[in-house]
Amino acid sequence: MEITLKAKLENVYKSKDFINKSSGLVESKGKWQLNFIELVQSEEGSQMVMHKVSVPDDKVKQYQDKIGTLVSIPVKAFVNKNQVGFYGI
């Protein structure tokens, strides 16, 4: 199944590395993140929803100059603690 997220790109940033507090060693490198805002319509009205999407290092350049614009990005979905999340492919 292919899913495309289409929303306004708000920010592009690299998350911090995960550092083991005991050893002080980097256990995993930070990932590039895209923040999107989507206006969702429902029976109760409309609400703004923020989506955080991680993308591979080689894909981030194609989004850095699109902040503030409507962007479509192919994603895969996952569920964590009853919430749906996305990651870029």
Could you read off the pLDDT of 34-43 as tens digits, one per residue?
999 988 888 8
Number of folded domains in the chain? 1
Position 10 in a domain: yes
Position 22 in a domain: no
Position 77 in a domain: yes
Position 23 in a domain: no
pLDDT band at 33 (very low <50, low <70, confident <90, very high): very high
The boundaries of the domain holding residue 72 are 3-17+28-88
Position 48 in a domain: yes
- Please list, in sequence order, all residues whose beta carbon lies within 8 angstroms of the beta carbon of residue 41, skipping any fewer than 6 positions away: none
Q: What is the pLDDT of residue 71?
A: 93
Burial of 56 (0-12, 13-18, 19+ CB in 10 A): exposed
Percent of the chain with pLDDT over 70: 100
Q: What is the pLDDT of residue 82?
A: 86
- Provide the CATH number for the domain around residue 66: 2.40.50.140
